[in-house]
């Protein structure tokens, strides 16, 4: 639906642009083909110094077959191996000769005038091998097909009978959209809709901030007695204690035996050697004596 609306709008814009074409109406133009004046319901017109003629009727007399495609605003004319394609308001035409395809820029594109497809006559006549000249004095386009003798214009004939009613024309373009109407009054409040289905479970939320510390609890009971600890290191030696009281007298020693041997007389040297130099016995001898007492 939206596409059709755009298409209609484009057709309207095209029709509006065609209304602005600078069509020359200074003098009536005419067209002759092989000496015969071509009378049609729409006369040739000049647009930007280019003569446009009704495509139907003109090309029929040149032996070309026409085909109109209203949906694309395109017309084709075919004769032998030559096929010419024009589109309304498109300045480029396509010409196909056998397998060769050529794009040709037009001095004036085809147009819709009074519901008739008007085409540049010189361009089309050249494509189908006919000769064309312009008689400025009589404002006439003169076309001569190849091999046809040029005849003079005969006397005006009697008025022919009224032709049959033509076929119904194509539907015109859709008119412009009208202005928006005033807003209507608000409608009554509708009934409450049905309760929607339960939504999916949401994702797990982020962890909240840490709360403030609670009050200190009561003191707990004493724990069980721990295991015995390892023996500690030996401490340093303490200071010397005070001298103790004198101990009890020891037991009397055994009585020594009587000495029966007396020392031999020694020479003076021996006596000197055993004395301390004073002539008295050495302290060791004294001890021996004491021990022997």
pLDDT of residue 105: 94
pLDDT of residue 150: 42
* Nearest Cα residue to 104 out of 117, 95, 96, 115: 95
Extended strands (E) in the chain: 23-24, 30-33, 36-37, 45-47, 50-54, 65-69, 74-79, 82-87, 92-97, 100-105, 111-113, 116-120, 131-135, 140-144
* Residue 90 to residue 106: CA distance in whole angstroms: 9
* Residue 55 to residue 121: CA distance in whole angstroms: 8
CA angle 59, 63, 69 (to 5 degrees): 50
pTM here is 0.43
Residue 276 has pLDDT above 90, yes or no: no
* Residue 76 to residue 86: CA distance in whole angstroms: 6
* Residue 130 to residue 124: CA distance in whole angstroms: 9
Q: What is the pLDDT of residues 211-224, one digit of tens each?
A: 788 788 788 788 78
pLDDT of residue 274: 46
Q: What is the pLDDT of residues 102-159, one digit of tens each?
A: 999 999 999 998 888 999 999 989 998 889 999 999 999 999 986 544 443 444 445 5
Q: Give the gyration radius of the chain's Cα atoms.
A: 73
| CA 80 to the chain's CA centroid | 52
| Kind and range of the H or E run holding 289 | helix 283-292
**Per-residue confidence at 93, pLDDT binned at 50, 70, 90?**
very high
User: Do 121 and 141 touch, CB atoms closer than 8 A?
Assistant: yes
* Residue 8 to residue 43: CA distance in whole angstroms: 28
pLDDT of residue 7: 45
* Residue 36 to residue 57: CA distance in whole angstroms: 13
Contacts for 54 with CB less than 8 Å, ≥ 6 apart: 40, 41, 42, 44, 116, 117, 118
Q: Tell me the C-alpha to C-alpha distance, in Å, between residue 176 and each of 8, 150, 245.
A: 9, 50, 143
User: What is the fold of 2-144?
Assistant: Copper Amine Oxidase; Chain A, domain 1 (3.30.457)
* Residue 137 to residue 162: CA distance in whole angstroms: 32
Q: What number is the average pLDDT over the span 68-75?
A: 93
pLDDT of residue 247: 82
Cβ-defined contacts of 58-67 (< 8 Å, 24+): 58/31, 58/33, 58/119, 58/121, 58/124, 59/119, 59/124, 59/128, 61/33, 62/33, 62/124, 62/125, 62/128, 62/130, 62/143, 62/145, 63/128, 63/145, 64/128
* Residue 214 to residue 92: CA distance in whole angstroms: 89
User: Where do the structural domains in the chain lie, given as residue ranges?
Assistant: 2-144
Q: What is the pLDDT of residues 23-56, one digit of tens each?
A: 444 458 999 999 999 888 888 999 999 999 998 8
- Portion of the chain with pLDDT greater than 90, in percent: 28
Question: Which residues, in sequence order, are bridge partners of residue 117?
Answer: 112
């Amino acid at each position: 639906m939206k596409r059709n609306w755009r298409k209609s709008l484009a057709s309207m814009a095209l029709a509006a642009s065609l209304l602005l074409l600078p069509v020359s109406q200074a003098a009536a133009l005419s067209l002759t083909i092989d000496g015969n004046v071509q009378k049609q319901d729409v006369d040739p017109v000049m647009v930007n110094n280019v003569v446009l003629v009704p495509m139907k009727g003109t090309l029929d007399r040149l032996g070309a077959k026409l085909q109109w495609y209203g949906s694309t605003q395109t017309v084709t004319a075919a004769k032998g191996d030559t096929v010419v394609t024009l589109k309304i308001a498109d300045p480029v035409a396509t010409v196909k000769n056998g397998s060769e395809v050529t794009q040709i820029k037009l001095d004036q594109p085809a147009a819709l005038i009074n519901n008739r497809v008007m085409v540049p006559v010189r361009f089309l006549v050249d494509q189908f091998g006919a000769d064309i000249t312009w008689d400025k004095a009589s404002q006439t386009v003169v076309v001569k097909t190849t091999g046809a003798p040029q005849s003079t214009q005969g006397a005006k004939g009697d008025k022919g009978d009224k032709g049959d009613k033509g076929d119904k024309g194509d539907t015109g373009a859709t008119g412009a959209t009208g202005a928006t109407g005033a807003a209507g009054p608000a409608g009554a409040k509708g009934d409450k809709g049905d309760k929607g289905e339960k939504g999916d479970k949401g994702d797990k939320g982020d962890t909240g901030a840490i709360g403030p510390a609670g009050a200190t609890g009561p003191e707990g009971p004493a724990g069980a007695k721990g295991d015995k600890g390892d023996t500690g290191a030996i401490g340093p030696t303490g200071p010397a204690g005070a001298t103790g009281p004198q101990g009890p007298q020891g037991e009397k020693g055994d009585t020594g035996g009587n000495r029966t041997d007396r020392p031999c007389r020694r020479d003076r040297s021996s006596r000197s050697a055993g004395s301390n130099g004073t002539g008295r016995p050495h302290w060791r001898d004294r001890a021996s004596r004491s021990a022997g007492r």
